[in-house]
Structure 1
Amino acid sequence: MKKILFLFGTRPEAIKMAPLVKTFCLDFNFTVKVGVTAQHREMLDQVLDFFKIDVDYDLNIMKPNQSLHELTSGLILKITEDILNKEDFDYVFVQGDTTTVLAGALASFYKKIKVIHIEAGLRSHDIYSPFPEEMNRILTSKIAHIHFCPTQTAADNLDREDLKNNVFVVGNTVIDALLLGLDEIKNSSESNLINKYSNIDFNKKIILVTCHRRENFGKPFEEICDALLEISDSFKETIQIVYPVHLNPNIMKIAHEKLTRDNIKLISPLDYPDLIWMMNHSNLILTDSGGIQEEAPSLGKPVLVLREITERMEGVEAGTAILVGSNKEKIVAETSMLLLDDSYYSKISKAVNPYGDGTTSEKIKEIILANDCY
């Protein structure tokens, strides 16, 4: 029996780890422990509650105004002292590219524990964008013993870095989580959500917007807002723009000052179940979120990516997403095309999602079982 630790700290990590935790917990070949660093305390807890994940170790690492230097060093120390020194693990699973991932991989390496990297191989090829995530995932790849890549493109990135062993293309667990989550909502809370968002007219075309990344702060975000205003005015009677506004003051202040139209609904940030429900009830999505770029195609929702560079070019290449950055003209033009041209909308909404079919967690487990020599 293998003892494994799933280690994560943010909401996106929790979402993508949840189906893996559930899958491995159901197999008697594994003893499963869950450790959280709580980089995102409240948002993390929402996901844990929704997916009913029990936590064995909670480091609760976050402090106000913490620097990256303080966070990284503190994580390495607490992961080692509070988790790895207390139990012997065969594998530590980390997911993605957060500071928790890098610190967890490095702490495990120092203990000579094998690291399994979920969602390995993503690259923007710019070490400062996204920052510090691009360097986090590069360094984690150098440490990891097994690499589970979401796409062949990700595997090819590792190959170019001379990482050729124990690399598997399995899809992305975010699709597993999405399908699990929608089933849970359908069975328990659909009517509650309809009532909760009764101020939104779902008889109109819903444009869901999420925008919060550091690279969009300042002038880029102002241009995105200007694009939303033009779209709002051009399609006043037929659309509603729904924007769950991030609490970061760099975003919140400008959004509430500029986006003052009756058909723009500024709402509080959405819990994970609310978000996937809202995605499912939208017509198209404008986002700078990596996870949504992966999820939306499984729901048949075209995505306009509000970033100049994305490490998820597979979606753009597959035709499920369009890279528009913060360019007002591009945002307005592509949104207008999707609203007015049914054939254009259909082509994008029916494109095949390159990130998987919801069976990634099972594939990962079977690979681990089949290769017990690792």
Structure 2
Amino acid sequence: MPHVMLIFGTRPEAIKMAPIVRAIEQSEGAVTSHVLVTAQHRHMLDQVMGILEVTADADLDLMKPSQSLAGYTALALERVTEHIAEVRPDMVLVHGDTSTAMASALGAFYNHVPVGHVEAGLRTATLNSPFPEEANRRIVTRLASTHFAPTEQARANLLAEGVSPSDVLVTGNTVIDSLHWVKNELLPRPEVAARLAERYGFLDPGKRLVLVTNHRRENFGTGMERVFTALRRLVERFPDIEIVFPVHLNPQAREPAMRLLGDLPTVHLIEPVEYVDFVHLMARAHLIITDSGGVQEEAPSLDVPVLVTRETTERPEAVEAGTALLVGVNGDLLVSEASRLLSDEAAYAHIVGLRNPYGDGLAAPRIVNHLLDPNGVTP
């Protein structure tokens, strides 16, 4: 009976690890789990864990006010290493590219515990973009013994770096598992539907909704100002749209958003929302403009085109499939592409008819099946 420790600390990690926790619970004891959270993002982590019905077995509560990246990473490495030594799992599962994932993989390595890397193999061509995530994921690759790649491209990236083919399993992305669970299990519940209708009653049903997120470190400063100025131009050009923008808590994201967009009546700058709310808004949106990696994966399953405000993306499959368009922080390009999708019905219809390259919502069962039988055939 494999005993697996799942370690995560941010909201995106929780969203993407929750399906694995659920799949382990459904294994009826064939696999057992120990969920350790670092609380790298305290408030946002708690929010999504409650919604996704995931309970931590241990909580290190490492988030501190004005915490530096180096300070958090050092603290996480020390505390996670100690906890792994106490529990002695058969494997540690980490997710993606966070500082929690990198420190946890190193802590497992120090304890001679194998590391399974969920969402392995994502790459950009630039070590500093996204920062520090690209470096984190490359470090985890070097430490992991099992690599759960979301796509064939991610698998190819790993093989090109010398990872053995026998150590890589293509699973799809677990974020699609979570998306399907929320869409099919939570949103239809009467109490959830009523709450969402009341909470977002300010939206005009006669306008097309454009959903925006923007929080990447590499976009701080001039990049964000260009994006927000472009959004202002879009609202002025298309009076039949309204923007909902859950603004990140980081002051470097909030200040320019409030300054450049706060006076526009059809731009709704709201506080960060719960995951269920965000799925609801994505499903309702006509267009999404984002620098989030996860949204690039989720939106195609909801038939919503995505404009990506990043210079590079570790999700090239979405760009190659045509479900996402990379516009960077070029304000003119953002306005041009958004205008095309808001004006050209044929161009819009082409994108929403494309297949999601990130999977079918069964990634978590494939991972758990592999934990049970590494040499078995996984559907």
Residue 270 of structure 2 is aligned to residue 271 of structure 1: no
Residue 68 of structure 2 is aligned to residue 67 of structure 1: yes
In 2, the alpha carbon distance for the partners of 1:235 and 1:134 equals 36
Q: Which runs of 5+ in 1 are unaligned?
A: none
Out of 282-291 and 66-75, give the one that drifted further: 66-75
Out of 222-231 and 298-307, give the one that drifted further: 222-231
For residue 189 of structure 1, what is the aligned residue in structure 2? Answer: 192
For residue 9 of structure 2, what is the aligned residue in structure 1? Answer: 9
1:372 shift after superposition: 6.8
Secondary structure in 1 matching 2:86: coil
For residue 132 of structure 2, what is the aligned residue in structure 1? Answer: 132
For residue 119 of structure 2, what is the aligned residue in structure 1? Answer: 119
1:356 shift after superposition: 0.4
Aligned residue pairs total: 371
294, 315, 318: which one pairs with 2:297?
Answer: 294
Superposition map of 1:9-158 within 5 A: 9-27=9-27, 28-81=29-82, 83-158=83-158
For residue 357 of structure 2, what is the aligned residue in structure 1? Answer: 354
1:55 counterpart letter in structure 2: A
For residue 234 of structure 2, what is the aligned residue in structure 1? Answer: 231
In 1, the alpha carbon distance for the partners of 2:276 and 2:145 equals 33
For residue 337 of structure 2, what is the aligned residue in structure 1? Answer: 334
Q: Percent identity?
A: 46
Superposition map of 1:246-325 within 5 A: 246-259=248-261, 260-325=263-328
Secondary structure in 1 matching 2:355: coil
1:68 shift after superposition: 2.3
In 2, the alpha carbon distance for the partners of 1:155 and 1:372 equals 18
Deviation string 1:93-145 (CA, Å, 9 cap, x unpaired) is 00001111111111111111111000000011211111111111111001101
213, 217, 220: which one pairs with 1:217?
Answer: 220
RMSD: 1.2
In 1, the alpha carbon distance for the partners of 2:87 and 2:343 equals 59
Q: Which runs of 5+ in 2 are unaligned?
A: none
In 1, the alpha carbon distance for the partners of 2:46 and 2:55 equals 11
In 2, the alpha carbon distance for the partners of 1:106 and 1:231 equals 45
1:255 shift after superposition: 1.3
With the length of structure 1 as denominator, give the TM-score of the two structures.
Answer: 0.97
Secondary structure in 1 matching 2:243: strand
1:307 shift after superposition: 0.4
240, 243, 247: which one pairs with 2:242?
Answer: 240
In 1, the alpha carbon distance for the partners of 2:311 and 2:88 equals 43
With the length of structure 2 as denominator, give the TM-score of the two structures.
Answer: 0.96
1:128 counterpart letter in structure 2: N
2:294 counterpart letter in structure 1: G
In 1, the alpha carbon distance for the partners of 2:218 and 2:86 equals 40
Is the contact made by 2:6 and 2:36 (CA closer than 8 Å) also made in structure 1? yes
Is the contact made by 1:202 and 1:281 (CA closer than 8 Å) also made in structure 2? no
In 2, the alpha carbon distance for the partners of 1:17 and 1:151 equals 17
Out of 259-268 and 343-352, give the one that drifted further: 259-268
In 2, the alpha carbon distance for the partners of 1:150 and 1:110 equals 27
Out of 315-324 and 193-202, give the one that drifted further: 193-202
Is the contact made by 2:31 and 2:372 (CA closer than 8 Å) also made in structure 1? no
